[in-house]
């Protein structure tokens, strides 16, 4: 392997191992505080839940019922559904809940997108707090009650939940289930560092005045939930996490759906990183600027370093294998039953491979810990999660490569 690829390989694995070690150290130091939260305010603040919906006739009713079932005083909780010019029965389904006296339905005359729909809903909000929840999601009944106490700190602009997968039937859904559990754990670790950089659209709670002060959601941003989180930080607000507040969303069930979702996410992350590049290594933003955002950028570079070395190794090994076969008159059986042990041992004990094994081992421990502390121990030992640890990252590397290529080519973005 050329010196350049060797350096890339070592650097990439070092970054991934470093990240895993940081999360492990944060966990060891702050584990007793995982479920600590402020006392409930008295009286409980008024809350408005915004549900933007476009062609969600199969999920919207369950979402509204879930919100109306929250353990929260009825007089302090209201719901606004924003029908974004749906072409199915979404609007009709939403209107059926108006008779509860707690649901208001707004109708966009044209399809404006999620962020614009949320901003339309925010104009109608009169409560101290507001919540955004996607129309294909649900939430635990206790979630809101355990989240509002964090707003006793006047500097808190948003509180994020522990996001989980609702559908866990096929292989892809189970892989994403493992991913979401680990991400929920990571979001809590980020909250300890005051470096949460995404407020998921599945039941994040916001201070209404803060959202209005910063101008609402960015209407032409691919990942408005990341952009508004960075803008909250930019305006001096904190974002925290309530680990015991669980929300659930429908994840992609087909690879084509996952591809479209992740390309949008990754292109949005690239654009937001460029837009907020002033935060990089800026002590004004604390751990977010000095640690998290630079580390995210380095992680992307590390992904391409590993992908490049992987492709290089596959290419050179294939050429070498073909050359060896030609030397033995294409006798493949002789090569299979008389392998080059020296070459095998060198590959087995190479430093990059050992770094990789260490990285996967640390990730496996963090994943197991994530399941343990979220009370999902029965799912830890399933072989399916080995696929998540070993193979799924390779797939995500390809997605990142495609996203970067599309950004460099300035290809039109799709929601």
Q: pLDDT tens across 14-36, in order?
A: 887 888 888 889 988 998 898 89
Are 16 and 58 part of one and the same domain?
no
Are 350 and 274 part of one and the same domain?
no
Q: How are the residues of the chain apportioned to helix, strand and coil, as percentages rounded to the nearest 5?
A: 60, 15, 30
Q: What is the pLDDT of residue 352?
A: 57
Q: What is the mean pLDDT of residues 56-74?
A: 98
Are 214 and 346 part of one and the same domain?
no
Q: pLDDT tens across 204-230, in order?
A: 999 999 999 999 999 999 999 999 999
Domain boundary among 281, 297, 313: 281
Q: What is the mean pLDDT of residues 34-49?
A: 94
Q: pLDDT tens across 239-258, in order?
A: 999 999 999 999 999 999 99
Domains identified in the chain, total number: 2
Q: pLDDT tens across 91-111, in order?
A: 999 999 999 999 999 999 999
Q: Are 201 and 284 in contact (CB under 8 A)?
A: no
Note whether residue 216 is domain-resident: yes
**Confidence tier at 380 by pLDDT (50, 70, 90):** very low
Are 20 and 83 part of one and the same domain?
no
Q: Are 48 and 144 in contact (CB under 8 A)?
A: no
Comparing 51 with 366, the larger pLDDT belongs to 51
Residue 342 scores a pLDDT above 50:
no
Are 76 and 99 part of one and the same domain?
yes
**Confidence tier at 289 by pLDDT (50, 70, 90):** very high
Note whether residue 415 is domain-resident: no
Q: What is the pLDDT of residue 296?
A: 85
Are 18 and 48 part of one and the same domain?
no
Q: Which domain holds residue 293?
A: 3-28+288-408
Q: What is the DSSP letter of 383?
A: T
Q: pLDDT tens across 116-133, in order?
A: 999 999 999 999 999 999
Are 39 and 23 part of one and the same domain?
no
Are 241 and 301 part of one and the same domain?
no
Percent of the chain with pLDDT over 70: 87
The owner of tokens 């990571």 is 186
Are 261 and 320 part of one and the same domain?
no
Residue 75 scores a pLDDT above 60:
yes
Q: What is the pLDDT of residue 346?
A: 45
**Confidence tier at 382 by pLDDT (50, 70, 90):** low
Q: Which residues, 6+ apart, have CB-to-CB distance to 3 below 8 Å?
A: none
Are 24 and 121 part of one and the same domain?
no
**Is the peptide bond between 178 and the residue preceding it cis, with omega within 30 degrees of 0?**
no
Are 43 and 149 part of one and the same domain?
yes
């Amino acid at each position: 392997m050329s010196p350049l690829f060797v350096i890339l390989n070592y650097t990439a694995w070092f970054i991934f191992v470093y990240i895993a070690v940081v999360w492990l150290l944060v966990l060891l130091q702050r584990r007793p505080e995982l479920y600590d939260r402020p006392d409930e305010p008295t009286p409980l603040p008024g809350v408005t839940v915004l549900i933007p919906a476009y062609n969600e006739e199969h999920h919207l009713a369950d979402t509204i019922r879930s919100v109306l079932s929250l353990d929260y005083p009825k007089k302090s909780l209201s719901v606004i559904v924003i029908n974004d010019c749906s072409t199915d029965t979404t609007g009709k389904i939403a209107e059926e809940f108006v008779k509860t006296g707690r649901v208001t339905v707004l109708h966009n005359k044209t399809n404006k997108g999620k962020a614009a729909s949320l901003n339309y809903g925010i104009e109608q909000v009169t409560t101290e707090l507001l919540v955004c929840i996607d129309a294909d999601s649900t939430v635990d009944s206790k979630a809101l009650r355990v989240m509002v106490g964090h707003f006793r700190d006047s500097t808190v602009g948003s509180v994020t939940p522990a996001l989980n997968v609702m559908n866990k039937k096929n292989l892809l859904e189970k892989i994403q289930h493992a991913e979401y559990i680990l991400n929920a754990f990571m979001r809590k670790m980020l909250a300890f560092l005051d470096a949460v950089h995404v407020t998921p659209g599945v039941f994040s709670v916001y201070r209404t005045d803060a959202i209005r002060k910063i101008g609402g959601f960015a209407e032409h941003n691919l990942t408005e939930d990341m952009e508004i989180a960075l803008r909250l930080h930019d305006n001096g607000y904190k974002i925290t996490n309530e680990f015991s507040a669980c929300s659930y969303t429908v994840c992609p069930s087909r690879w084509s759906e996952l591809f479209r979702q992740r390309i949008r996410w990754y292109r949005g992350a690239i654009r937001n990183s460029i837009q907020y590049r002033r935060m990089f290594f800026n002590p004004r933003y604390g751990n977010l600027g000095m640690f998290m955002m630079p580390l995210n950028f380095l992680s992307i570079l590390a992904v391409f370093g590993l992908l490049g070395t992987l492709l290089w190794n596959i290419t050179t090994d294939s050429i070498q294998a073909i050359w060896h076969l030609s030397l033995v008159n294409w006798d493949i059986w002789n090569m299979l039953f008389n392998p080059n042990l020296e070459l095998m041992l060198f590959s087995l004990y190479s430093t990059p491979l050992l770094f990789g094994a260490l990285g996967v081992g640390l990730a496996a421990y963090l994943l197991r810990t994530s399941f343990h502390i979220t009370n999902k121990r029965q799912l830890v030992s399933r072989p399916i999660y080995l696929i998540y640890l070993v193979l799924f990252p390779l797939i995500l590397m390809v997605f990142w490569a495609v996203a970067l290529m599309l950004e460099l080519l300035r290809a039109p973005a799709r929601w």
